[in-house]
Amino acid sequence: MLAATRASTSSLRVASRAVVVAGQRQAAISAIRRRENVSVRSIQTVAQTDRDTITRLLYSLGSKREVERHLRIFSSSSHPSQPAKFAVIKVGGAVFDELDELALSLSFLYRVGLYPVVLHGAGPQMNDIIENEGVVPDYVDGIRVTDSKTLQIARRVFLEQNLKLVGALEKLGTRARPITSGVFTADYLDKDKYGLVGKITRVDKRPLEASIRAGALPILTSLAESAEGQILNVNADIAAGELAKELEPMKIVFLNDKGGMYHGVTGQKLDVINLDEACLFLYSLFSGSRNEYDQLMKEPWVKYGTKLKLREFKELLDHLPRSSSVAVISASSLQRELFTDSGAGTLIRRGYKLFKHESIDSLGADRLRQVIHDRDPDVAAGQSIAGILNDLKKTPYTIYGDEPLDAVAIVSRPEGEVPIMTKLLPSRSGILNSVVDNVFSAIKKDHRRLFWTAQVDDENRSWHFERAEGSFTRAGKSLFWYGVNDVSEVERIVKSFEEKGRIERSYLPVGPAAARAGGASGARSYSTLARRTVPSGTRGYATSATRGYATAATPPPASTERKRLALIGARGFTGQALTSLVSNHPYLDITHVSSRQLAGYSLQGYSKEPITYSNLSPEDVERMEKDGEVDAWVMALPNGVCKPFVDAIDRGAKERKSGATSVIVDLGADYRFENDWTYGLPELYGRDVVRTSKRISNPGCYSTSSQLLIAPLLKYLKRDAWPTVFGASGYSGAGTIPGINDPDGRPTTVPKVTSESLGGGIRPYALTDHIHEREAGRHLSNLLSDPSNPMKLAFIPVVSPWFSGIISTLSMPLSEKVAARDIKQLYEEKYTGEKLIQVKQEVPGLQDIENKHGWTVGGFQVHSEGDRAVVVGGLDNLLKGAATQCLQNLNLALGYDEYAGIPTD
């Protein structure tokens, strides 16, 4: 899907609650129909109002334009003669654990007039009952052998789950029809080998279409019947595939509890998988080789279930039109996947090869003429196709696109001048299946700087803003660019465009008076706009087309220069976690790693090249800094040990002939209270200061969670009653000690505290004056309206019998009465757009934070008297509490994308 700013969890929850209201309204309509003689037109009017309300709620997930565009595309996919062309949604059995969420998501589609065909499995439920009834499960080649007893259980379980889902939908006012037979005809797959397992030979879509015409969602099980009437068990994924082959829907959606497919090494969610063309996501992931389906299947992490899924998806999509695609997604994110350009899960599609042509003839003049005729707004406004083609030939150009021309772009590139993308012409399918994104990525690969324009009423306007680093709007058109950050250079380039006629109108202010007054068109001075700051994590542009301008985004383009990292003291858990992260970083390489205990042994968990531990002294470090051997240092040392190494780096930097200085990130507490060091918590204290810093102190794990918990509530801080945070951490937070040697003679790393030593309980410690207590209070005070009057907090830590993860509970007296929903809204507003922060309604559990790279907050409650809030937040102490945050800071300071090497889902 087109990359875009992700919708917040809160938006989905607000929208979901609205479905309940919508359901009540539908029930009211039914009552009216029964009790009063109301005209059909009146009922239709209420139903349209209901649809309009839900549609407006969808705008909270993405821009109005993209939501309406997807609605229009999906609505047009269905025809009275073929009503089941929108989507097939396969619901995994594990998703029934989130039945309410599933029903809300399906109700949304129903409310906006979309009728997916829903087919569900029930594997986990079957396993539970089979185990309870003493039936021993038997699998051959991964297929469940089904005897009469197993089939009896399967039939009962499928019927129960089907009715549960239908009942949940009906409670929301969404009509649903259970269809448990009559759709799938099957033969025995291999009766002697698998028993009563079927292979589908025919799909009868008439019951599904009848259900949709009657205004009800069809809810299917994956049971089939033989020609003789014998019920046969069929794998739900296979049944969904056969159903899709018959219906040929635009979308095939597989709902699972994981929310997508994930890379087996990095843990990063696979956003897009192109089966027939090189996927740009995989292109970056696999070190630059153009990987198609066959190459992907050779990857060592693609095995077992993942390989089977990919093979099934390819076989399915090979039978469907190229406009069809498969999405793997969670139930809670279904709306984001269907109605926003960003999507939320993993999109699998066939795709096409991309091309580049440097002449119209090599592409085919007639083909290009047809695309321009059908899609170019300038043609619709009256400009001739011949005139467009003649203008194109005035400078050297490149035409980018894919084989069926679902997306075509033309870049004018005179020698020695900044290129302009003069045309970007995507089809409906090109937008829906992200072909336009692949084409634009190919352009970015060829051109480090680019300018282009778009109409202010372009329905894809948000797409342009999200790919631009700056923009300016005047007289009905917006000018966009990337790769240029200096204000004066932008003005010079735009002026050159105007003088040479490369753009059709003046975008710069006409003079000082215009700059002061905003110009005749109401546009502001560009120089003023470019220096406006953009809040971290938000879009760098005006969201309203009526404002007449958009701000320039402040972050510079991400560097792709390879740089060298040295780790000092990397023996412990945090060092190991950081090593694994850097191993998957696209540009940052570990060149030195120092540990007194492990000197001479090889570094484990790092796959780029063999690295051997050394035992670097401060004198070694000074020489290395002087000679410019590394670009960044990470100090993973115990508190109080770091200073000699930092001093050595400072001395070496003064002797460097280049005048450059390496970046230092200290994971310990030595410099968290130093004014001349940058405190690296980007979500609270900003990115810009980290980008320009060479000395960064990484916040403590408890302190990170405490500050993120308290910051949104500072406006309600009660000065005479400080907030209290109770923090429960896994025992890895206590650190490590050298253990006995392994069989190879290597000293092992063992935790100072073990689960066994805790006896299954918790161990409170450092009950007052914990260093993280002072650390959090000091830095939070900088967010107060009067930092000279610092705040305090009480902090109580305990060690818990799990390995990693911190759950922090905040109890904060409030200066005035506040409702719980307002408390939650403060967090949503504070952390909108933050990729490593999740705001949820429920209290976060260990499963939400352990081995996760972000911070999760939830459980928003207020005392019955409204004067005390309780909020729960959590993070993995080894990741967002240490290694992940360290890599964030390194990325910013070294000029990389902030999240390079960090899985963000």
Dihedral sign for Cα 483, 489, 494, 497, please: negative
Measured between its terminal Cα atoms, the distance across the chain in Å is: 15
Virtual torsion, Cα 458, 504, 465, 114, nearest 10 deg: 10
Q: How many CB atoms lie within 10 A of CB 520?
A: 12
Whole-angstrom CA distances from 704 to 115, 776, 806 are 45, 8, 10
- Say which residues have a Cβ less than 8 Å from residue 749's Cβ, sequence separation at least 6: 571, 572, 573, 576, 736, 738, 739
Q: H helices of 718-801, where? A: 755-758, 771-780
CA distances from 260 to 152, 256, 344, 495, 626 (A): 32, 7, 8, 47, 47
Count CB-CB contacts under 10 A for residue 853.
25
Question: Is there a contact between 602 and 610 (Cβ–Cβ < 8 Å)?
Answer: yes
Specify burial of residue 346 (Cβ count, 10 A radius: 0-12, 13-18, 19+). Answer: buried
Q: Amino acid letter at 819?
A: A
β-pairing verdict for 420-426 and 470-474: unpaired
Question: At what angle are helices 148-171 and 99-111 packed, to 10 degrees?
Answer: 60
- Whether 701 is catalytic is yes
SS3 call for 20: helix
CA angle 658, 661, 663 (to 5 degrees): 150
Quick one: tokens of 540?
Answer: 């760098």
Among 234, 255, 105, 223, residue whose Cα is nearest residue 158: 223
Residue with tokens 């040929």: 248
* Half-sphere exposure (Cβ direction) of 769: Cα atoms closer than 13 Å: 0
Element holding 347 (H helix, E strand): strand 346-349
Cβ 411 vs Cβ 420: under 8 Å: yes
Q: In DSSP terms, which residues pair with 176 in a beta bridge?
A: 217
CB 778 within 8 A of CB 675: no
- Find tokens 């050298």 and name the residue: 738
d(CA 445, CA 436): 14
Q: How far is CA 521 from CA 455, 456, 500, 517, 641, in A?
A: 15, 14, 23, 10, 62
Task: Please give the radius of gyration of the chain, using alpha carbons only, rounded to the nearest integer.
Answer: 30
Length reported for the chain: 905
Q: How far apart are CA 432 and CA 698, in angstroms?
A: 41
Residues 6+ apart with CB under 8 A from 361: none
Alpha-carbon distance 289 to 115, whole Å? 41
- Phi and psi for 130 in degrees, rounded to 5? -60, -40
Q: Among the options 279, 642, 701, 886, which is catalytic?
A: 701
Residue with tokens 């729960």: 872
Catalytic residues: 701
